Amino acid sequence: MAVGTPFHPRTSVLNKSLNWRHWSGYFSAGCYDDFVQPEYAAIRNKAALIDVSPLYKYWVEGTGATDLIQRVFTRDITKCSPMQAIYTPWCDSDGKVMQEGTVFRLDTNVYQVNAAEPAMRWLQLNSEGLAVTISDRSAPVAALALQGPTSRKILNECFKGDASGLRFFHLTEGTIGGMPVTISRTGYTGDLGYEIWISADCAITVWDTLLDVGRRLGITPCGILAMDVARVEAGFILIDVDYISAERALIPEHRASPYELGLGWAVDFNKEDFVGREALVAESERGSVRSVVGICIDWEPLDEIHAGDNLMPDLPQLACREPVPVYAGKDQVGRVTTRCWSTLLKKYIGIATVQARYASYGTAVEMELTVNFRRERVPAEMVQLPHFRPERMRA
């Protein structure tokens, strides 16, 4: 049975649609209202307040902490100063991605690792012989994502500390409503935004303060369905949707390397021994067989196919996670793993995994679609991710 997050006393009152999703054993609001659009619009035009407490959070501390982080993650943490963050995948020793997430360097030898799935066992396995303590603070630490163009102004009004100058992927500490918080300039929407990390017992005060101060600036409690659309636009992959974790893959072909996920930039061979290094060196020399890439479905043919049946194009208003085949000529060359209608871009977009030689931008392919209960193929084009990235995200 799922349980409420530390914000449940507030979110349960607001969630009039009773649209609850299960996320890592917690009740998570899918959409507070009957429609996703207003919540999505808040992400892009005002500010959305999203309860992301179900994320797994681990603290890694001790003189061996940096060694452990260097060993587990593919990026070089020594390039990251205290109160800075990185986004990075981590791999098994075959160089296949187990998860990707953010790592906060809170102090020289104190790290916060944020993961979508449990990672304790893996961190512990890798800590053999290192002077390090790893603690699971998933439950005692609550988290909120404040995402959208007005998020900075909202923080400026209620955060005691310096948020206005906080740079992309940096951290700061201060208080909100008198409660100590850590703020990271990170998020999963591809917009200007922050994530706020709070001790669970202070969670309600912080929530109330943000909503109170933010009302004038359009703060809107937002469910995870709207966030899912935003992350597709932003080109952010999702574990067990756009790729299968090496931990969960039932057959070897189901696993994916960082290169295949478009995360080759996050693999740093300048550091010594990290898990999967040898396999990744080999793959970087050999080249990868698959690639994650953006896909954009052509509007005109889509419209025409539907018109042939006297129908209007049926567009996914929510991110659809049902994978569909991608074809080049007669052959299936991949799959679209997430797709949605972007109301912002007025485009039918998606995230696809295709054979490497079909991954270059502009390649014409076809995506399978069911129209009037009939399988059809609609022309589509490989495009660069992200689909949408406003300058304000980093500015």
Partner 1 sequence: MSGCYDVAVVGGGHNGLVVAAYLAQAGQSVVVLEKGPTVGGMASTIEVAPGYRASSCFQSAETFSPTISRELNLSGHGLEVSRPRGTSVVAVDGQWLLFDGSGHLTGNGSQMVSIADRAAIAELERLLYRTVRALAPLYQAALPELQDLGASDTLDLLRIGWRLRRLGRRDMREAIRFLPMSIRDVAEERFESHILGAAIAGLGLQGGCNGPYAPGTAFVALHHQIQNPRPLFSGPVFVKGGLGCLSDALSAAAQSAGAEVRTEAEVKLIEAADGLLQGVTLCNGEHVEASIVVSDLDPQRTLLSLVDSRKLAPEFINAVSTIRARGGVGVVSFALDGIPDPPEGSAEVSLSGRVQIGASVVEQERAFDAMQCGELAEKPFLQLTIPTLADPGLAPDGKHVATAWVLGVPDNLDSLEESVASGIETVLPGFTSRVVGCAVATPSDIEERYGATNGCLFGVDVSLDQALFLRPLPGWYRYNTPLRGLYLCGSSTHAGGGITGLPGRNAARRIIEDLKAGKVG
Asked whether position 126 contacts partner 1 by CB under 8 A, the answer is: yes
Residues 187 and 193: beta-carbon distance below 8 Å: yes
Q: Determine the interface stretch with partner 1 among 124-132, 162-170, 210-218, 344-352 (rule: CB under 8 A).
A: 124-132
Asked whether position 114 contacts partner 1 by CB under 8 A, the answer is: no
Quote the tokens at residue 239. 């574990």
Asked whether position 67 contacts partner 1 by CB under 8 A, the answer is: yes
Q: How far is the CB of 131 from partner 1 (least distance, A)?
A: 12
Q: Residue holding tokens 């260097």?
A: 70
**What secondary structure does DSSP assign to 210-272, as a single string?**
HHHHHGGGTEEE--HHHHHHHHHHHT---BTTTB--TTT-SSGGG---TTTTT-GGG--TTSS
Q: How far is the CB of 129 from partner 1 (least distance, A)?
A: 4
Using left for φ > 0, alpha for ψ between -120 and 50, and beta otherwise, residue 322 falls in beta
- When binding is defined by CB under 8 A, the residue of 3, 129, 250, 270 that contacts partner 1 is 129
| Maximum separation of any 2 CA atoms in the chain, in Å | 68
Q: Is 128 exposed, middle or buried (0-12, 13-18, 19+ CB in 10 A)?
A: exposed
Per-residue x/- track, 258-277, partner 1 (CB under 8 A): ---------------x-x--
Asked whether position 125 contacts partner 1 by CB under 8 A, the answer is: yes
Residues 78 and 132: beta-carbon distance below 8 Å: no
Nearest to 321 by CA among 299, 351, 294: 351
Query: What does the alpha-carbon distance between residue 220 and residue 341 come to, in Å, rounded to a whole number?
Result: 22
Q: Determine the interface stretch with partner 1 among 125-133, 178-186, 224-232, 387-395 (rule: CB under 8 A).
A: 125-133
Q: How many CA atoms lie within 13 A of 234 on its CB side?
A: 27
Nearest residue (CB) to partner 1, 272 versus 300 = 272
Residues 172 and 83: beta-carbon distance below 8 Å: yes
16: how many CB neighbours lie within 10 A of its CB? 10
* Residue 344: φ, ψ to 5°: -75, -45
Q: Determine the interface stretch with partner 1 among 13-21, 80-88, 105-113, 119-127 (rule: CB under 8 A).
A: 119-127
Asked whether position 252 contacts partner 1 by CB under 8 A, the answer is: no
- When binding is defined by CB under 8 A, the residue of 58, 104, 122, 388 that contacts partner 1 is 122
Q: β-strand 133-136 against 110-115: which pairing, if any?
A: unpaired
Q: How far is the CB of 289 from partner 1 (least distance, A)?
A: 22
Q: How far is the CB of 135 from partner 1 (least distance, A)?
A: 19
Nearest residue (CB) to partner 1, 279 versus 344 = 279
- When binding is defined by CB under 8 A, the residue of 71, 105, 339, 347 that contacts partner 1 is 71
Nearest residue (CB) to partner 1, 68 versus 326 = 68
Per-residue x/- track, 81-110, partner 1 (CB under 8 A): -----------xx-----------------
Asked whether position 111 contacts partner 1 by CB under 8 A, the answer is: no
Q: How far is the CB of 73 from partner 1 (least distance, A)?
A: 13
Residues at the contact surface with partner 1, assessed by CB under 8 A: 67, 71, 92-93, 122, 125-126, 128-130, 273, 275
